[in-house]
Each structure stands twice: as structure tokens, then as C-alpha cells.
Structure 1
Amino acid sequence: MTMSDAVFNIEKDVPADAVVEVRGICKKYGEVEALRNIDLDFPRGKLTTLLGPSGCGKTTLLKIIAGLIEPSAGEVRVNGRPVTGPGPERAFVFQDFALMPWATVMRNVAFGLELKGMGKAERQSIAAKYIAEVGLSGFEDKYPHELSGGMRQRVGLARAFAVNAEVLLLDEPFSAVDEQNRRKFQEDLLRLVEKERKTFIFVTHSIEEAVYVSDRIVLLSRRPGRVSQIIEPKIDRTASPDAIRRDQGYLDTVEEIWQGLKHYVD
């Protein structure tokens, strides 16, 4: 497979059922232009990765979609409604976990439901389901300081799933764990994507990770970040993880993306 097999025409191939629409997004921090004229659509039930060189505005764009940062120009819509701030239809998984240190795993996972006014029994039932989904059954009464970094990240994922948000925004969620746990998390994420059928927007620095987990990859240029290519990896998801990582199509896509990005590396 060549890159031409996987690249969408940016102007013509707009997903028919886009949940998130990004139109003309620009962002400046003083004299620094972080993003310029970003136009993107994120389809329902798919995982789209934002990939590009350091400083290209990946996390900035993710936080604009989350409503945590205001754009300098442009608009984001979720299900046709303008984003003016955070909303219950979007959940953010932070790189640094952002857990409440004084709260147990159960309380952390159920906290979003508690804020919604849900009764204790119901929210704990929902939280227990997702604690089990991420492999933390038996740790419900533990505190964050008693968990490894990988386990704390699992708590963050469970919390995001528990609130039943339609859009999951993940900012380098596996960057703080070792390679073995990172691969396991990638496989768990793919299982949850298939099961939950939500819209995932994922930020990573890893080309291999992006190709492995993504339905679509948005390549951003060096700052100011602009959309340079949209890629759809052609991967047989029914194959085993080891078979996928050895597949020639997977390897070719990783190499083609590297060839497109390496001139941005100083």
C-alpha cells in the first residue's frame, strides 16, 4: 500500500454524519500563531488522531474542541450546536490523569455522575461497570497514590466513559506509561472504541500508535498548525495485535507518515 491509497481528499471527503465540525479555527497567543484556518469533521463512531511535530497545536485544537480554550477565530460545533465552553456531550482525558487525590477510585470514576445529581447507588453501579472495563476490579477503594501511573490513567479513562459523553477527547493518554502497558492500553482502547461506538479524538506524538489505533489520522504542519493530510490506515482489525504490527500495510503507512513529517524535525 502507498500513501496515495490512504489519503483522503481534504476538500471532498467530508464524513456524512460528522458529530464534531471545526470551521476556520485560528489561535494566537500574543504574537505566536498556534493554529491557522483549521477545517475538519469528526465522524460518529470513529477514532481520529491528531498527529504532527511538537508545537503544531494538537493539544490546543483538542482543548478548543473541549471548550477549555477559546479560539481567536472560527467555530466548533457538536451535533450542530456551537461550542461556547465545556459540555456534558464531551469528556476530556488529561495526560496527567487529573484525579482527585483525596478520593477513592470509585469516587473519582463516579464524580461526573455525582455532579449530574445521580443517586449514589446508580452512579456506583455505572462506575463499577467501567472500572471493570478498564481492568481495575478490586481497586475501587484504593486512592490515586496507591496506584501505578498506568492504573491512574485507567481511572481517568473509566471516568470519561462513565459520564456517557458522546465525544471522548484524549490528550496523549498513554505517554506516561511504559511500552508494555502502552501496547496493552492501545488494545483496550480499540476494544472500547468498537464496543462504545463513540466519537474519539486522540492526540499522540507516536506515528506507530496513531496508525495502530486510528480510523483516520489528521496530519498537522509545523506551527502555525494547518491540516496537511488526512489518512485512513488500511488495517485488518480482525488480525491479532502482533500480526497487525507486522503487516506490510501498517509498516508502509508508518514509513510514509514519517517521510512526510521528518522534514519538520530539527
Structure 2
Amino acid sequence: MTVALAADNTAERSVPKPTNPIIEVRNVSKVYGGAVHALDKINLSFETGHLTSLLGPSGCGKTTLLKIVAGLLQPTDGEILVKGKKVTGPGPERAFVFQDFALMPWASVLQNAAFGLKMQGVGKAERLEKARHYIGEVGLAGFEEKYPHELSGGMRQRVGLARALAVDADVLLMDEPFSAVDEQTRRKFQEDLIRLREVENKTFLFVTHSIEEAVYVSDRIVMLSPRPGRISEIIDPDIPDGISPDELRRNGTYLDTVEEIWRSIRKYVE
């Protein structure tokens, strides 16, 4: 495990910057209503094709930072660059996977998966073809004509993921996407996410409360301190290449990294 301390929020000095960053967070702060200081001077870069998790105690600003990158919130100070361009709002190069699925209850699985493409003006035949492809990629082939109320929570989340993948965004922003499903489904999702990352070669920014999940799926883990959120540590799990999902959960490096992160974060847990 490689751990870079950044308690004074100077991660850009203590950690080598990615050589091919797709997202740059520059001196970002966020204050809500003039009273709640959610984020304080965050400086980060995210590598193209990598999965980075944001981890930290409740209220540390993980989701706030994710929504600022998505363009759903504006920073109080600082700026976000995606592919070298300043973020002023949502854009087609970014897709958001919501924690609560955010599906249209009156629309079928196929219609939900194709919705983002429809908003982009993609023709019906093309968008349905792409939607069917990604429905298959997330393991829902055969459920195209079902409706959200006919699906389990895990299946509904797969529809949300298929919708995000279908728009072919460069960056997928995922806000605790597996928190609402049972443990068995969550583990399967984690394995599927690793496979999709390899197949799709997209950049993932992933918010989670789970230390085990962060270590399992991530190329890099950014740990935030309690409010106001600052970078406390940046961790590169030194997991061996080519290890199977089952072997990974028993791997000594994986287990040691989980324990080290818990030791760092436990002081913030009441």
C-alpha cells in the first residue's frame, strides 16, 4: 500500500500528479448558506481510465465534491476542469449514477436506459440499440420491457448504471451506488464494476462509506477529513495484478490496507 499524507491539504506536493488527468479540482471550497463549510481548498487530479474512491466520515463533503464535479452544484471558490475545460454545469462527458436509482416509474427498463440518449437527440433506433447493449452488459438481458416496480433494488440500480454507460460519457460519477442493496448483491456489483472498468476504459469517481469496498474496487482512494472536508490522505492500494475476485478478498495486502484505513478513520467515528 502506498499512503501519501496530506493533512494540511497539500496533496499536490506530496503525491505525484497524474500524467494524464481528465479531471482537475483546483482550490475548491463550498459553503452552504454562509454557515456550513462543507469543503475547504480541495486540490486533486483524477487519472484517465482509473477508478478513484472518495472515502471519509459522514458529513465530510464526499457527495458535495462529486456533485460539484458533475456540475450539479457550483463551488463557492475554486474551479473544476474536465478535459481542460472549466465546468459550469452538467455536460455530456460526465454521467451521474444516483444512490436512489432515479428511474422513471412509468417507463420500461429499455426506455429508462435510453433516456439520456434521447435527451442528447440520438435517433430512436440508435438509442434503443445502445440501450439494449448496455442492459446486456449489466446483466439485465430479457428484462427490457419490465417496469421499475417489477424489479428488485439491485436490478433497478443496474438500470441506472446501464443508462449512465449508454450515453458513452468519459467520466462516470457514482454516489454510493450500492448502498441500497443487500450484501450479496453488493459484492456482485463490486465484481461487475471491476469488469466494466476494464471493458469500458472509462474514468470512475466513486463515493462510498465502505472501507472494504473502496479498497476492493479502487486504483486510488482519497480520504477526506470531517467538515470542513479537506484531503487527509491519498492511498494507492498495492494490490497484485491478475488476482481473482475471490482471492482478492483474502489477499494480505487488501486486508492490511483495510485495517490501515480503519486506524486512520476511527478517530472520527463517535
Question: 5+ residue gaps in structure 1?
Answer: none
Q: How does 1:226-237 map to 2 (within 5 A)?
A: 226-237=230-241
For 2:88 and 2:243, how far apart are their aligned partners in 1?
42
Report the CA distance between 1:114 and its aligned residue.
1.0
Matched, 1:193 2:185: no
Matched, 1:168 2:164: no
Report the CA distance between 1:237 and its aligned residue.
4.2
Aligned CA RMSD, in angstroms, stands at 0.9
Q: Which residue of the other structure, out of 139, 146, 156, is the alignment partner of 2:143?
A: 139
**Which AA in structure 1 matches 2:2?**
A
Alignment deviations for residues 12-70 of structure 1 (CA, whole Å, 9 cap, x no partner): 41001100000011011121100000000000000000000000000000000000011
User: Which residue number in structure 2 is paired with residue 246 of structure 1?
Assistant: 250
User: Which residue number in structure 1 is paired with residue 80 of structure 2?
Assistant: 76
**Which AA in structure 2 matches 1:123?**
R
**Which AA in structure 2 matches 1:168?**
L
Matched, 1:28 2:70: no
**Which AA in structure 2 matches 1:243?**
E
Report the CA distance between 1:239 and its aligned residue.
1.7
For 1:178 and 1:75, how far apart are their aligned partners in 2?
37
- Stretch of structure 1 that moved more, 21-30 or 211-220: 21-30
Question: 5+ residue gaps in structure 2?
Answer: 6-10
Identity %: 68
Alignment deviations for residues 154-201 of structure 1 (CA, whole Å, 9 cap, x no partner): 000000000000000000000000000000000000000011111100
For 1:239 and 1:166, how far apart are their aligned partners in 2?
26
- Stretch of structure 1 that moved more, 227-236 or 50-59: 227-236
Q: How does 1:176-215 map to 2 (within 5 A)?
A: 176-215=180-219
Report the CA distance between 1:144 and its aligned residue.
0.5
Q: Which residue of the other structure, out of 15, 20, 29, is the alignment partner of 2:18?
A: 15
- Stretch of structure 1 that moved more, 67-76 or 232-241: 232-241
Structure 1 segments, 4+ long, off by >6 Å, are none
- Stretch of structure 1 that moved more, 145-154 or 119-128: 119-128
For 1:175 and 1:47, how far apart are their aligned partners in 2?
18
Q: How does 1:89-100 map to 2 (within 5 A)?
A: 89-100=93-104
TM-score between the two structures when normalised by the length of structure 1: 0.97
**Which AA in structure 2 matches 1:218?**
V
Alignment deviations for residues 192-247 of structure 1 (CA, whole Å, 9 cap, x no partner): 00111111000000000000000000000011000011101011242221211111
- Stretch of structure 1 that moved more, 227-236 or 61-70: 227-236
**Which AA in structure 1 matches 2:32?**
Y
Alignment deviations for residues 90-110 of structure 1 (CA, whole Å, 9 cap, x no partner): 000000000111110000001
Question: Secondary structure of 2:58's match?
Answer: coil
Equivalences, count: 262
Alignment deviations for residues 66-93 of structure 1 (CA, whole Å, 9 cap, x no partner): 0001111000000110000000000000
Question: Secondary structure of 1:102's match?
Answer: coil
User: Which residue number in structure 2 is paired with residue 6 of structure 1?
Assistant: 2
For 2:104 and 2:180, how far apart are their aligned partners in 1?
18
For 1:79 and 1:40, how far apart are their aligned partners in 2?
14
TM-score between the two structures when normalised by the length of structure 2: 0.95
For 2:155 and 2:241, how far apart are their aligned partners in 1?
26
**Which AA in structure 2 matches 1:185?**
F
